[in-house]
Amino acid sequence: MTEPLTRPATKFPRSRPAAPEAPAMADRRGVGILLVVAGAMTMSMIDGSAKWLVGEGLPQGQIVFIRFLLPCAVLALVFLPSQGLSVMRTRSLKLEVLRSLCMVGTTATNFMALKYLPLTITGSIMFSSPLILCLLSGVALGERVDWQRWLAVLTGFAAILIIIRPDPASLHPAMLYSLAMAVLMAFYAILTRKLAGVDSSLTQQCYISFTGFAFALPFAFQGWTWPHTPAGWFACVLIGLAGLVGHTFYSIAHRFAPATTLAPFTYAQLVFMALGSWLVFAQAPDIYFFIGLPILIGSGIYIWFRELSLATRRKRAAPEPVLRQEAAE
């Protein structure tokens, strides 16, 4: 019995980080979906805060700077004194930097597009990122995207279009900003998936926050404008906290489920944006919201139960190969 045990032992150090990931993805995809929904709710606060700050006359570069300033302060004051520079240690510096640059680009292009386009246009283009993700995941992640998942993603996207009813006005050059944002969001999700189980969520947040701060700093003080109201100051704090918490939820979620599984549930962000628009900006949802919402929720519930069903089948089938292997030994 000692020889079969000692033979694979030499492989454990190399496979140990990846070994726990497969059962977690197979058995706990519901946890990943819940975390994405929580992240979507939190991330919707970024758009609401940015909308409020734009209304108070703050420049886009300053808003991007504020977006990353507070997370940097929290990380520097809370975690750096206790853990030191160890929070910046990564086993994949290239992926961390690329992922951070994708997030910085997503934030910047979104705010630039909002200067010229209404939320309905930027929202419809932004939520095309799951479709782009499905196109890229097969090559970049090696994940199989079956026709059921394609159907769920397309159905969810159709529900988004029903809810927001994009204005069929003439094309504006700023739409290129939104298209770039959607592509960067898809690459961000892919890189997040690749970093799952490689670096901690804290390390990933450190790289995003400090990279965003460094890139936004040169543009922050070009026409600096202070908020005029207490609500504006609150939005400055909220936009930073929401980014820190929301991306932490997303990072942890990708430890439990593939990116293509989580993609349809990012549509929940639009629901929370609509609710925030109703409660904060007194813009109540219209009839199209209530038509598209059940379609959107139905798409997510279908993926939820399908993934749980597949996870149950995998769990039941898992002991058989183990028994065969033990019998062979």
In order, the DSSP letters of 209-252 are HHHHHHHHHHHHTTT----SSHHHHHHHHHHHHHHHHHHHHHHH
Q: Measured between alpha carbons, how far is 143 from 138 in angstroms, rounded to an integer? A: 5
Identify the burial level of 194 via C-beta atoms within 10 angstroms of its C-beta, where 0-12 means exposed, 13-18 middle and 19 or more buried.
middle
Considering only CA atoms, which of 144, 106, 147 is closest in space to residue 266? 106
The domain ranges of the chain are: 23-318
Are residues 300 and 267 in contact, defined by beta-carbon separation less than 8 angstroms? yes
Q: Measured between alpha carbons, how far is 77 from 122 in angstroms, rounded to an integer? A: 35
One digit per residue, the tens of pLDDT, for the chain of length 329 reads 444 444 444 444 444 444 333 344 444 778 888 999 999 899 888 888 888 888 888 888 899 999 988 888 888 888 888 887 888 888 888 888 999 999 999 999 988 887 777 766 777 777 777 767 766 766 665 666 677 777 877 887 788 778 767 666 556 788 888 889 989 988 888 888 788 778 787 888 889 889 989 998 988 888 888 988 999 999 998 998 887 788 788 878 878 887 667 777 877 887 787 787 778 777 677 787 788 878 877 777 776 666 667 667 767 776 555 444 544 45
Query: How far is CA 47 from each of CA 44, 177, 265, 321, rounded to the nearest angstrom?
Result: 5, 16, 18, 49
Q: Measured between alpha carbons, how far is 111 from 98 in angstroms, rounded to an integer? A: 20
- The CB density around residue 190, as the number of other CB atoms within 10 Å, is 25
Secondary structure of 11-23 in HEC code, one letter for each residue: HHHHHCCCCCHHH
Please state the pTM of the whole predicted model: 0.70
User: Element (H or E) spanning 294, and its range?
Assistant: helix 287-317
Considering only CA atoms, which of 180, 195, 169 is closest in space to residue 128? 180
Considering only CA atoms, which of 288, 304, 87 is closest in space to residue 206? 87
Q: Measured between alpha carbons, how far is 123 from 182 in angstroms, rounded to an integer? A: 10
